[in-house]
Amino acid sequence: MRHPNDAATNPAPVLTSRRTVLALLGVSAAGAGAVLLRPAHAAASTAASCAGLDDPAKKEIAMKLVSSAENSSLDWKAQYKYIEDIGDGRGYTAGIIGFCSGTGDMLDLVQLYTDRKPGNVLAKYLPALRRVNGTDSHSGLDPNFPSDWRKAAQDTAFQQAQNDERDRVYFNPAVQQGKTDGLGTLGQFTYYDAIVMHGDGDDPTSFRNIRKRALAKAKPPAQGGNETTYLNAFLDARVWAMKQEEAHSDTTRVDTEQRVFLRKGNLCLNTPLDWKVYGDSYHIG
């Protein structure tokens, strides 16, 4: 995704040609309204009753949820080797969280991998990654960078580097902010999914400004507000942000995923979970 200090919005990573078409055409889905129904999970009424999203079982659920939207698959570990340029102006998008050659986080990842394992198959591309940062250029990367990325993805050291950069840049900050705001597991996940797609820069559609937009409408539990009311305000702000960019204008990852869990009162993101993204149905038992 986007480097947290980069002002350009970063796209969701794309695995299939269908996702490429979505990114290029900006397929739009009708947004679902913020309807509050009686909670179905009585024990999930407060964040205090929930395991954090950093609980290993909950984190695994989060990875699968994001992968369903990003890669049309629950098998998130199969995405270490993924790499493609979807023509969105951010160069190559790759790996489990959509690291981009044009937005800084791919450079940081390859640098970390090289610090840990000098002479790896991607180390020789560091000068080129520095040059193309901030652009969609493939200069110095083609023709062998994609095949070398896939080779590197077979190395457990590179897989661990991807995990660690995902956590450092996206997962840990989202969970920490969610806990600070008094949110349960679902709320922490809504933050994580937002920072994955939008990054946390200073632009209006970044995570911090989505949250700021929500705070103007409702208070989070840590400020004495109602958790469900606040999460609906956050999702409203998230949908607004997504619709500012054509490639993100399909909001089903909110409308038919996160809203579904929220309407059921499943603030602890307890299984079983059933949802849809881009019309495809998913289940975690």
Separation between Cα atoms, residue 217 and residue 180, nearest integer Å = 18
Which comes out higher in pLDDT, residue 115 or 38? 115
pLDDT digits (tens, 9 = 90+) for 4-26: 333 333 333 333 322 333 333 33
Q: Which of 52-56, 122-126, 248-252 has the lowest mean pLDDT?
A: 248-252
Q: What pTM was computed for the model?
A: 0.84
Interval 86-90 mean pLDDT: 84
Is residue 223 a contact partner of residue 211, using CB atoms and an 8 Å limit?
Answer: no
Residue found by looking up tokens 């986080």 in the block: 105
The pLDDT of residue 27 is: 33
pLDDT at position 75 is 98
| pLDDT tens digit sequence for 240-269 | 999 998 777 899 999 999 999 999 999 999
> What pLDDT is attached to residue 246?
79
If pLDDT is split at 50, 70 and 90, which confidence band does 67 have? very high
Q: Quick one: 40 exposed, middle or buried, by C-beta within 10 A (0-12, 13-18, 19+)?
A: exposed
- The per-residue pLDDT for 46 is 63
Q: Which pLDDT does position 245 carry in this prediction?
A: 81
pLDDT digits over 194-239, tens only? Answer: 999 888 989 999 999 999 999 999 999 999 999 999 999 999 999 9
In whole angstroms, give the CA distance from residue 2 to residue 214. 21
Tokens of 112: 């970390």
Q: How does 119-130 read in b/e, with b if 16+ C-beta sit within 10 Å?
A: ebbbbebeebbe
Write the CA distances from 261 to 4, 41, 138, 191, 285, integer angstroms. Answer: 28, 10, 40, 14, 14
Q: Is 181 a catalytic residue?
A: no
Higher pLDDT, 89 or 11: 89
Query: Strands 273-277 and 83-84, how do they pair?
Result: unpaired
30 compared with 154, residue with greater pLDDT: 154
What is the rounded distance in angstroms from the CA atom of residue 162 to the CA atom of residue 106?
9
Mean pLDDT taken over the chain: 86
What's the pLDDT tens digit per position in 146-181?
999 999 999 999 999 999 999 999 999 999 999 999
Q: What is the spatial distance between Cα 147 and Cα 163, in angstroms, rounded to a whole number? A: 20
Q: Is 88 a catalytic residue?
A: yes
Give the torsion sign (CA, 256, 81, 63, 89). negative
Residue whose entry in the numeric block shows the structure tokens 């975690």: 284
Which candidate in 54, 70, 108, 236 is catalytic? 70
Q: Which residue has the tokens 């995990």?
A: 163
For the chain, which domains are there? Answer: 17-284 (1.20.141.10)
Angle at 18 between CA 189 and CA 27, to 5 degrees: 70
Least confident of 35-39, 77-81, 88-92, 261-265: 35-39
How many Cβ atoms sit within 10 Å of the Cβ of residue 222? 15
In the chain, what percentage of residues exceed pLDDT 90? Answer: 76
Chain-centroid distance of CA 230 in Å reads 20
Q: Which of 54, 84, 85, 88 is catalytic?
A: 88
The residues, any chain, with a CB within 8 Å of residue 37's CB and separated by 6 or more, are 263, 264, 265
CA distances from 145 to 77, 80, 127, 279 (A): 20, 14, 13, 33
